Amino acid sequence: MKTWRIGVLAVGVVALSIGVGAPAQADGAAVAVRKKVLVELREQGGFAGLQDRVVVYTNGCVRLSRRTGPVIDKCLTGAEWRGLRGSLKQLKLGKDEAQPQGADFLKYTLTYRGRHVSRYTLTQTWSPVVRRMEKVLQKYWAPD
C-alpha cells in the first residue's frame, strides 16, 4: 500500500475511534443528524441575566442551552412533537415590540420560517408555543 493511503487509513481509524460522526446525547445515545431549524426560542433578561435557548429541528430533535451549563441534544416525544407543531400552525409572529421602560423584563425572540421577532409580552398565539418550548427546556435540560 502506498504511504498516502496508509496515512488516510490511519486518520480514518482515529476519527472513528474518538466518535467523529453522529452527535451524542447526554445519556450517550446517538442523535439523528439535524436537518434544519424549525423554530427557535431565545429568552433573555431579567435581574438574573437569563439566557435560555431552545432550538427545534425539523426531525423532532432539540438543542437546549442556558447561560451556564451544558448544551443538551434530545428528541421530543411524539406527543410533545405533535403539540408543538399544532401550536406553530396558529402562530402569528407579528412585529417586534419596543422595549418597555424600566428593568427586569424578559425578552422573547422567536425565529420561525426565516423570520425572527422579539417581544416583551406574549400574545395569544405566542403563548402556547413559548410555554411548550419552556416545558421542554425544563424537562430535558439538566446540568452535569
Q: Enumerate the domain spans of the chain.
A: 23-140
Measured over the CA atoms of residue 112, residue 141, residue 49 and residue 23, the dihedral's sign is: negative
* 62 and 26 Cβ atoms separated by less than 8 Å: no
Spatial separation of the C-alpha atoms in residues 113 and 45, rounded to whole Å: 25
Residue 86's pLDDT is 96
**SS3 call for 60:** coil
Residue 8's pLDDT is 42
Mean pLDDT score of the chain: 81
Any idea which of 27-31, 80-84, 96-100 has the lowest mean pLDDT? 27-31
Residue 101's pLDDT is 87
pLDDT at residue 19 above 60? Answer: no
Q: For residue range 58-75, what is the model confidence (pLDDT) as tens digits?
A: 999 999 999 888 999 999
**What is the three-state SS of 2-37?**
CHHHHHHHHHHHHHHHCCCCCCECCCCCECCCCCCE
The mean per-residue pLDDT over the stretch 83-102 comes to 93
Cell numbers representing residue 72 in the block: 443538551
How far, CA to CA in Å, does 4 sit from each of 1, 64, 101?
Answer: 8, 41, 64
Give the confidence band of 25 by pLDDT, cuts at 50, 70, 90: very low
How far, CA to CA in Å, does 105 sit from each of 46, 102, 122?
Answer: 5, 8, 12
CATH of 23-140, one of 3.30.310, 3.30.1560, 3.40.50, 1.10.1660: 3.30.1560
Which comes out higher in pLDDT, residue 56 or 2? 56
